[in-house]
Amino acid sequence: MVKPIRLGGIGTGLGILTLGGLTAAGAWGHVLPPPGVWNTPWEESVPVLNCPPSRIVSGTLATDEILLALLPPQRLAALTYLADDPTVSNVAAEARAVPGRLKQVEAERVLALEPDLLLVARYTRREIIVQLEGAGVPVLRMPSYDTLSDIRRNICFLGSAVGVEAKSEVLIAEMDQTLAHIRTLTRGELRPRVLYYGPSGFTAGKGTIFSELLEVAGGRNAVEKVGVTGYVHLPLETALALDPEVILLSGYRGTRRAEEIKPSQELADDPAWKNVAAVRNSRVYTIPGNHLSCISHHVVKAAEDIARVLHPDRFPEDGS
């Protein structure tokens, strides 16, 4: 039996977006109901900002990546320490222009940075947020990142909150244009059955960003055949029985130094997998971890990575 679990960390399902139909126009200079933590809504409201913030502290990797696309680094007081790690970050080079770093959201450290806006995740400890708000720090809690629609809404939400709504709309349009281009390139191709097999046997089923990216890239999610929804632990016997035609692994799972798509021997060397179609046909690949775990606009890189693996003939070597 496949049992769903709730995962923490980067790039996993973190709950349901509760902004509903709110658009970017609503967040700037108005009070909006913030998203809930799991199923427990907050009573507090998003702070009203009288002017665009100029000392923003980012408490999540996703907001690191989005902010660096929307704002000059001079407006950012600190990013997360993860921004510097190229195995998970898509902005390691750009992040060098921002001096401050935050390992975790702690009241003392945040106050020392003197922010005029702090961005946190839904799972950030409530008592710390209450303490910081009591000290006068405006805190904006970001919604979930379960789907591509969530990413679009969050870019829109964040762009409005920092006063660059038009730029956030351009960023979303560029993301959608890239996804549409990938979909066009793979249209009409046979859609192989693909299994994502992550750390300790975790996989991604229906309702996940991975499943959406796989559809864009011209593949079928093998685990949907057995009713997998969300992020779950997939028993080995179930994975083997699915007999996927392609298996994708995360670069962060192995050496943590993967910087390009590459064939993987990880499962090929395991006798348990020797009869699986993907192993027999040498179609087991490692995808860069910073792409596969991404929950910002950089997620399009994972879509292209997957499409190149599934349909290499549609992607010339020059990358055009």
Each residue's pLDDT tens digit, 78-104? 999 999 999 899 999 999 999 999 998
Query: Architecture of 187-314 per CATH?
Result: 3-Layer(aba) Sandwich (3.40)
Same topology between domain 13-175 and domain 187-314: yes
For residue 166 the two structure tokens come to 């038009």
Q: Strand 3-4 to strand 220-221: parallel, antiparallel, or no bridges (unpaired)?
A: unpaired
- For residue 291, which of 280, 283, 282, 300 has the smallest C-alpha distance? 300
pTM of this prediction?
0.82
* Rounded to 5°, angle at Cα 220 from 256 and 246: 50
Percent of the chain with pLDDT over 70: 79
Query: What pLDDT does 172 receive?
Result: 98
**Choice between 102 and 33, residue whose per-residue pLDDT is larger:** 102
Nearest to 204 by CA among 215, 196, 212: 196
Indicate if the alpha-carbon torsion angle 23, 29, 30, 34 is positive or negative.
positive
Sole residue written with tokens 């665009």: 52
Q: How far is CA 98 from CA 46, 54, 101, 102, 113, in A?
A: 25, 13, 8, 11, 12
Domain ranges of the chain: 13-175, 187-314
Distance of CA 78 to the CA centre of its chain: 20
Q: What is the pLDDT of residue 17?
A: 22
Task: Give the residue with greater pLDDT, 256 vs 214.
Answer: 214
Determine the Cα–Cα distance for residues 194 and 110; give it in Å rounded to an integer. 43
Whether 196 contacts 11, CB under 8 Å = no
pLDDT at residue 57, as a whole number: 97
What per-residue confidence (pLDDT) applies to 222? 97
6 band by pLDDT with thresholds 50, 70 and 90:
very low
- According to the model, what pLDDT value does residue 317 have? 66
Instruction: Give φ, ψ of 97 to 5 degrees.
Output: -80, -10
pLDDT, residue 147, reads: 92
Is residue 205 pLDDT above 70, yes or no?
A: yes
DSSP structural state of residue 114? -
How far is it, in rounded angstroms, from Cα 153 to Cα 89?
Answer: 21
- Range in 52-61, 129-138, 251-260, 287-296 with the lowest mean pLDDT: 251-260
- Sheet hosting strand 3-4, strand order edge to edge: 3-4, 231-233, 202-204
Residue-wise pLDDT tens digits, 38-56: 333 343 345 667 778 999 9
pLDDT reported for residue 40: 39
* Short-list 24, 15, 31, CA closest to 140: 31
Q: For residue 201, what pLDDT is reported? A: 87
Q: What angle do CA 283, 310, 85 make, to 5 degrees?
A: 85
Is 250 within 8 Å of 292 (Cβ atoms)? yes
pLDDT at residue 146, rounded to an integer: 87
Q: What is the CATH number of domain 13-175?
A: 3.40.50.1980
The tokens for 173 are 């349009």
